[in-house]
Structure 1
Amino acid sequence: MNSPPRENSPVSSVIHFADPAPAAVEDRPAVGRAIGVPPRRLTAERYAAEDGALSIGDWSCEPGAWRIAFHPGRHEFFQVISGRLRIIDTKGVAREFGPGDAGIIPAGFTGTFEVLERVSKRYVMLDRA
């Protein structure tokens, strides 16, 4: 049986990304980090560990750029579903990602995150103290 989980299903339920996503939360990069006008971002978290250390979901963003600084315990794996983005480290090394591309932003990374074309991605964020 492949029915979506019920609203009050236990945390141990299997999550299928074909099921309807939860309501997305809108935010924008902080004004002090934005490069230009802070773009609108939407995050639909599909799974969060009880201890807050793991978050998995869908993320989308309008074109724009901002500075990022991951703390020493934060790692992110992502895969681009649609659109294009570029991540540039503090040495100026840039990597572009488009549909189907996957990447990892390692703990302690600092640089610039640029959305070149409206982008949607899936992410897995690990946050250890």
Structure 2
Amino acid sequence: MPDHTPIPIDSRRIADDEVGKPAVFGAILSGQPQEIHRNIFEGDYGRFRSGVWQCTPGLVAMKDWPYHEFCLLLSGRVIITPEGGSPREYKAGDALVLPMGFTGTWEILETVRKYYAVQARQPLMRRVKERVKGWLRPGAKGGRTTDAQAGAAF
């Protein structure tokens, strides 16, 4: 039987004096950003993960980010600039969603520590199965249901 007990995500899972490894979440453009991450929870066969992440200053280019990611910054400052868009600074206490496919830069001005929750894309076969189930559902037209439940969040 699965355990459904809530799992606390504690920022102290990364020690204040802990040293990371060279950042791999994108191409380093300047500086020597060092990152540390601690996955605290994994679910949905590895598609969903959450935990705590930290990175020291530097400029990193990201291309086609493979997740939908929710971030809550616990400390530090970062300027995020989407490709073709305007830069925006985020600091401790700010929350943001980085959409799957994001391309742009993270300019980490002060060491950033954040809580994160990421959801990866479903494998192709699973997406096809879900689409076919939708088409076979009574009252469905072209994969869309015709009742009021179609707009429900979950």
Higher relative contact order (CA closer than 8 Å, sequence separation 6+): 1
- CA-to-aligned-CA distance 1:18-76 (integer Å, 9 cap, x gap): 5963899944234x8111244110001110115111010000110011111235x6211
Partner residue of 1:6?
none
Q: Say which structure is richer in strand.
A: 1
Partner residue of 2:67?
74
* Residue type at the aligned position of 1:15: I
1:17 aligns with 2:12: no
CA deviation after TM superposition for structure 1 residue 120, in Å: 0.5
* Greater alpha carbon shift after TM alignment, 18-27 vs 78-87: 18-27
The 3-state SS of whatever aligns with 1:44 is strand
Partner residue of 1:4?
none
Partner residue of 1:7?
none
Please provide the CA RMSD for this pair. 2.7
CA separation of 1:50 and 1:70: change in aligned 2, threshold 3 A? same
1:53 aligns with 2:47: yes
Partner residue of 2:28?
34
Q: Which has the larger radius of gyration?
A: 2
TM-score by length of 1: 0.78
Identity %: 32
The count of aligned residue pairs is 118
- In structure 2, C-alpha distance between the alignment counterparts of 1:19 and 1:64, rounded to whole Å: 21
1:63 aligns with 2:63: no
1:120 aligns with 2:131: no
Q: Say which structure is richer in helix.
A: 2
* 105, 109, 120: which one aligns with 2:98: 105
- What runs of 5+ residues in structure 1 fail to find an aligned partner? 1-9
- In structure 2, C-alpha distance between the alignment counterparts of 1:124 and 1:102, rounded to whole Å: 11
- In structure 1, C-alpha distance between the alignment counterparts of 2:5 and 2:20, rounded to whole Å: 26
CA deviation after TM superposition for structure 1 residue 15, in Å: 0.7
CA separation of 1:124 and 1:25: change in aligned 2, threshold 3 A? farther
The 3-state SS of whatever aligns with 1:51 is helix
TM-score by length of 2: 0.66
